[in-house]
Structures are given as structure tokens and as C-alpha cells.
């Protein structure tokens, strides 16, 4: 009877020792893995760290974060010029990013096939040299362009807290036609031009002749925009 008790006591001590060894092994494994620098999951940078150079960061429109300086950022908001963009010669002013003036003149064009040539009047944005025409005397283009086509850009653009590079603001946007009328011209030009379907024309718009001008406008409008560029201080510039 005493021998069976001693055997039972020894078996209990052995079982307890095995449990303690298992617990110790588990604690050692946990400690070693908790101290290891290796991570099996993805790493996330701290919110106070600057972005990677090839990363585009979405930023708030109402404040500039200096930690993004020199990096590519994306910002959305209402893009506005500080003052209307203006054509000083024709007095046309508009709240836009870009204002384009196109000047065309009605000129003779020659089309020859073999020994036969035909002539027709067409609007052209550049001077057509008629001196080499086969019938130059009857189809002469001798009137110089008194005005040239020009592009005017807003001097200062704002998107919330950011000053915007005009080249960035107008990139990848096709200008849209902007109708004008003689009523918006200064008096000296208003006396020369007539309204002609959203443009202004010299001469009689219903019966134009060689040398007549047609002036029309296009704009890149301001308004809601999402822009990506390089942050330099409080400026957003086009990436080169």
C-alpha cells in the first residue's frame, strides 16, 4: 500500500514538471519573437514622417503642411484667379485661368492642279503671301495684320491655401469658346468692329471682303479642380 502511494506521488511530480517545462518553452518562444525586428505584416510609416519621393499625398486645401515640401501632392478645391485675366488691347476681361485671343483675316487662297488654278477667300490666322500666285494681280493679299493672336494668363491663382502655377492649372484642359460683343470693346475699336456670331468682325459681317478681320476668344475657366504637383512652400508647381 505504501509503495503504491509513493508511485502515485512520483507520477504527480513528473506530470507537474512536464507542464512547467511546456510553460517555460512557451514563454521563451514568446520573448524571442517579441524582440525580433522582423515583421510578417506590412509596415506603415508614422503620420509625422515625410512621404516617399514617388508617392502622391492627398492634402487638405485649407492649410499647407511643411512636411510635404518638395513632394508630389494632390489637392481639391475651388480654383480662382486673384484678379480677372484681361486683354488690354480689346478690353476683354474675364474670371478665368487663361484668355486666348484668335485673330483671323479673310485672304485669298490659291489651289492649283497642273496648269489650272482656282482662288477662294478663306479665314486664316497667318498672312498668306500672294506674290507667288499665278494670278497675283487679281488676288492680292496686301493688308497687314493690325493685331495678332495672343494668350493671356492670370497673374495669380489660388486653390485654398495654395498658390498655383498657371502652367499646372491649365494643363490638359482644352480652352472653350468665349462669346464677346462690340459693347465690351473700347470706343475706338467699337467704331471699327461689328458683332458676328459671338465674335467681333471688321467690315460687313454679312458680306466680308479680303482684308476683313474676325476676332474671337477662348478661355480655360476657373472653378472646382483637383490638381497634382510638387509642393514648394505654399506653391503648387508642375512636375518636370
172-215 pLDDT tens trace: 788 999 999 999 999 999 999 999 999 999 999 999 999 999 99
Q: pLDDT (tens digit, 9 = 90+) per residue, 100-143?
A: 999 999 999 999 999 899 999 999 999 999 999 999 999 999 89
* Mean pLDDT of the region 86-108: 96
Please report how many Cα atoms fall inside a 13 Å half-sphere around the Cα of residue 88, on the Cβ side.
2
89: its cell numbers: 488691347
Give the pairing of strands 96-113 and 150-153.
antiparallel
C-beta pairs of 125-134 under 8 Å, 24+ apart in sequence: 125/149, 133/108, 134/110
pLDDT of residue 171: 78
pLDDT of residue 33: 56
d(CA 130, CA 140): 6
pTM confidence score: 0.71
Amino acid at each position: 500500500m505504501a509503495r503504491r502511494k509513493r508511485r502515485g506521488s512520483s507520477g504527480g511530480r513528473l506530470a507537474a514538471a512536464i507542464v512547467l517545462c511546456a510553460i517555460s518553452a512557451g514563454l521563451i518562444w514568446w520573448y524571442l519573437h517579441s524582440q525580433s525586428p522582423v515583421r510578417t505584416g506590412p509596415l506603415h510609416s508614422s503620420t509625422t514622417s515625410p512621404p516617399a519621393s514617388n508617392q502622391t499625398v492627398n492634402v487638405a486645401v485649407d492649410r499647407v503642411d511643411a512636411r510635404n515640401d518638395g513632394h508630389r501632392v494632390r489637392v481639391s478645391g475651388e480654383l480662382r484667379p486673384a484678379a480677372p485675366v484681361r486683354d488690354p488691347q480689346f478690353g476683354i476681361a474675364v474670371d478665368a485661368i487663361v484668355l486666348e485671343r484668335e485673330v483671323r483675316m479673310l485672304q485669298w487662297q490659291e489651289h492649283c492642279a497642273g496648269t489650272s488654278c482656282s482662288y477662294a477667300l478663306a479665314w486664316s490666322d497667318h498672312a498668306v503671301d500672294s506674290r507667288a500666285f499665278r494670278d497675283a494681280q487679281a488676288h492680292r493679299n496686301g493688308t497687314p495684320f493690325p493685331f495678332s493672336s495672343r494668350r493671356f494668363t492670370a497673374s495669380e491663382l489660388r486653390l485654398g491655401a495654395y498658390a498655383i502655377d498657371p502652367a499646372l492649372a491649365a494643363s490638359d484642359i482644352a480652352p472653350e469658346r468665349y462669346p464677346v460683343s462690340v459693347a465690351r470693346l473700347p470706343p475706338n475699336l467699337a467704331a471699327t468692329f461689328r458683332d458676328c456670331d459671338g465674335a467681333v468682325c471688321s467690315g460687313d459681317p454679312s458680306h466680308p471682303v479680303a482684308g476683313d478681320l474676325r476676332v474671337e476668344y477662348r478661355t480655360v475657366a476657373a472653378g472646382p479642380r483637383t490638381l497634382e504637383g510638387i509642393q514648394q512652400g505654399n506653391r503648387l508647381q508642375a512636375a518636370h
